[in-house]
Amino acid sequence: MTFDTTILFAYALPNPSAATPGNSMEIGPWIWVGFIVFIIALLIVDLKLVMREPHKVTTKEAGIYSAIWISLGVAFTGVIALWQGGAAASEYITGYLIELSLSMDNVFLWAVLFTYFKVPSKYQHKVLFWGIFGALVLRAGFIIGGIALLDAIHWVVYIFGVLLLYTAYSIFNSDIAETNPGENPVFRWVHKVILQTEDYREDRFFVKEDGKRLATPLFTVLVIIELSDIIFAVDSIPAILAVTRQQFLIFSSNAFAILGLRSLYFLLADMKDRFVYLNKGLAIILAFVGIKFLISEWWEIPTWLSLVFIVVVLAASIVLSLKSSKNITAGR
């Protein structure tokens, strides 16, 4: 993305003052430009300095990077509080926790995809880098469209509410470990439409052989990751819209949550079988947000109550999962 297109992108996002009655946040275009440049700078630092040479990310590295990314995301709450006040800060951190918790499904899906496609560990970071870069752009489009839709047609909140309740039910009864990427229609479509090599060519997405430009299996994995994020965004964007309609708060909370996903993947991927109750917790959070949408006409659930609920459910699902896996291990 060049500087010029960044400016154009920023001009497309302002005007949150029109989002909801009583909305007080007015974000100028240069604030957007500055924030987007900051996010791009973080990505460049990560790609060019932290991961300049392809290698397998160790648990220690992943732990350090996860702590840094999560600290940045949480610390931004203070920036919002000093700049826009406590109410906006509460909306931001609630949205951040929603997006971070719902993104756990992305992490475990990536683990399934990388295992299925036998992607070498040292090349996984590059796939996730470009996958997350694309996710940021796609999420921005979802945010703009979602807010515009709610502003234009108020009763869409009920559709979002029902959608979230249905998704919650599906997640509660699903097991991502049973996912078979080979049955994915996108996988079959990519193989039919795009000429590909039979094996990986280091960390390259495309190669030129016999005068033909061919994709590698690494590109197929990237396409599926991008499209899977679109599917997850259908759930996560309506969820955060139940907390705030402020475009800057929604985009910034999404950005920081997504930026930390790569390191969380390398930290948690091998532990996915231990978080047996995480899906249940995510489903309960989604159901709560769906109900928040459906009753918003009669009662607006306070942001602080939503924040407390999300933290308690997440903590409970993680603790119960670890306790369950510990009991299983002890019984062997």
Q: Is the pLDDT of residue 9 over 50?
A: no
Domain residue limits at 166:
3-331
Q: What is the pLDDT of residue 327?
A: 61
Residue with tokens 């080979």: 182
Per-residue pLDDT of 120-159, as tens digits, reads 888 888 888 888 888 888 888 878 787 777 777 777 778 8
Q: What is the pLDDT of residue 301?
A: 82
Q: Is the pLDDT of residue 5 over 50?
A: no
Q: How confident is the model at residue 26 (pLDDT cuts 50, 70, 90)?
A: confident
Query: Hey, what are 288's tokens?
Result: 């709560």
3-state DSSP assignment of residue 213: strand
Separation CA 51–CA 35 (nearest Å): 23
Q: What is the pLDDT of residue 230?
A: 74
User: In sequence order, which residues have a C-beta less than 8 Å from that of residue 94 and are 6 or more positions away?
Assistant: 243, 244, 303, 306, 307, 310
Largest CA distance in the chain: 66
Query: Total structural domains in the chain?
Result: 1
Percentage above 70 pLDDT, the chain: 79
Q: Where are the alpha helices (DSSP H) in 175-246?
A: 185-193, 217-241
Q: Is the pLDDT of residue 23 over 50?
A: no
Q: What are 176-180's contacts with CB under 8 Å, separation 24+?
A: 176/105, 176/108, 176/109, 176/112, 176/272, 176/279, 177/108, 177/112, 177/272, 177/273, 179/109, 179/112, 180/116
Q: Is the dihedral of CA 21, 27, 28, 32 positive or negative?
A: negative
User: In sequence order, which residues have a C-beta less than 8 Å from that of residue 107 and are 6 or more positions away?
Assistant: 261, 264, 265, 268, 269, 272
Highest mean pLDDT among 15-29, 87-101, 127-141: 87-101
Mean pLDDT over residues 197-226, rounded? Answer: 84
Could you tell me how many residues make up the chain? 332
Q: What is the pLDDT of residue 253?
A: 92
The DSSP line for 171-185 is HHT--GGG--GGG-H
Q: What is the pLDDT of residue 81?
A: 95
Q: Taking the model in full, what pTM does it have?
A: 0.74
